[in-house]
A and B are shown apart, each in its own frame.
Chain A
Amino acid sequence: MTSPRISKRAFLLVGLLTALLIAGVGSYYASGHPDGLEYVAERTGFIDSAQDGAAADSPFADYGTKGVEDPRVGGGIAGVVGVLATLLLAGGLFMLLRRKPDPAALSETK
């Protein structure tokens, strides 16, 4: 009985809170420099071949929020929306895919 130190519910809550804090608050303090690929593209001269994608006018394009001027707030909203959208889509998919418990075993626990 050594393994679990906290309940699964507490673990999931702490994990989600951490993700929301990173995306909603911490991301404001992230480095604004271009990432590795962007930097290499600038330096070696193929950055100009990049085009604006079809999603460029999404309300959360480039991790901002349309209509919100303050980058701290706009970025935070985009981060929280992204984390929750990912959680819902991925969590929903995984709940659908998961192996259902054996009905016999389930009735035993009741």
Chain B
Amino acid sequence: MHVPDGFLDAPTSIATGLVAAAGVGIALRKARAELDDRTAPMAGLVAAFVFAGQMMNFPVGAGTSGHLLGGALAAVLVGPWTGALCLSVVLMVQALFMADGGLTALGTNITLMGLVGVFVGYAAFRLALLVLPRNVSSVPVAGAIGALVSVPAAAAVFTALFAAGGTADVPLGTVLTAMLGWHTVIGAGEAAVTGLVIGAVVASRPDLVYGARGLAAAKAPLVLPDAEPVRGGLA
């Protein structure tokens, strides 16, 4: 999904750059409420994990591949504002050091994956939680649903940007159909990875999962969100 330099014209890239800057600016303020001594190291780890996950392309048929975008994953694990910052740092490292995604397209990529992917994914996660049983075992399922929706949503927004400022003259209907089709399949992979990773974290440290706050444990009715294992405290 990383947009290279040149796909979008300068005015569109400047506009997405402004959107990204505004979004990151708000996230820098709002993320404070999500971050404390316990969650800040976890959030750093989530960013590092998303970087790794984005390297792991999986084949989706017909000579195409997809990889984890990680927006819904980060939002569920550490909160949407912190999640948007995680994705923004990942995209910055990729653009600056790995030449993955253009530098003039950095605003576009932060808008698509760091804002649309994170917030659409998180909104779908919250909606799914409304209809699922109110306990932590619903969190991986709802996270997978958020992930599934987030990828075609980002693909649709890319197509809208391409319609506004694409430099090549190709039929938009074809681009939209192809983008949505392939990214729905990639979204299924995103859902599987997201569900598995959230499931693993919920199984080991449910107290560290932002999206599980306020939910009852699957079996025991009592959750102590501040519970800290003794070993961690003494080490």
Which residues on A are within 8 Å of B, measured CB to CB?
Answer: 1-9, 11-12, 15-16, 18-20, 22-23, 26-27, 30-37, 39-41, 43-46, 48-56, 58, 60-63, 78-79, 81-87, 89-95, 97-99, 101
Contacts and interface: CB of A to CB of B under 8 A. Distances in A.
Contact of B82 (A27, A31, A94): A94
B229 interface: yes
B51 A19 contact: yes
A85 to B, nearest CB: 5
A contact patch SS? helix
A75 to B, nearest CB: 8
B69 to A, nearest CB: 10
Contacts of B3: 37
A49 B95 contact: no
Contacts of A51: 4-6, 102
Contacts of A89: 47, 89, 92-93
B40 A94 contact: yes
Contacts of A101: 36-37
Contact of A33 (B63, B207, B228): B63
Contacts of A23: 51-52, 55
Contact of B52 (A1, A2, A3, A20): A20
B224 A93 contact: no
Nearest to B43: A94
Contacts, number: 270
Interface of B: 1-7, 28, 31-33, 35-53, 55-60, 62-67, 82, 85-86, 89-90, 92-105, 155, 158, 162, 166-168, 170-171, 174-175, 178-179, 182-183, 186, 203-208, 217, 219-220, 222-225, 227-229, 231-232, 235
24 contacts: A7-B229, A8-B38, A8-B228, A9-B232, A12-B45, A18-B49, A19-B49, A30-B55, A33-B59, A33-B65, A36-B179, A36-B186, A37-B179, A53-B95, A53-B104, A85-B97, A90-B48, A90-B90, A91-B41, A94-B82, A94-B85, A97-B40, A98-B36, A101-B37
Nearest to B187: A36
Contacts of A81: 97
B203 A30 contact: no
B1 A35 contact: yes
Contacts of A1: 224, 227
Given A8-B228, A87-B47, 9 more contacts: A34-B65, A36-B65, A36-B155, A44-B170, A58-B96, A62-B98, A91-B43, A95-B41, A99-B35
B45 A16 contact: yes
Contact of B235 (A4, A7, A35, A46): A7
B64 to A, nearest CB: 4
Contacts of A4: 204-207, 227-229
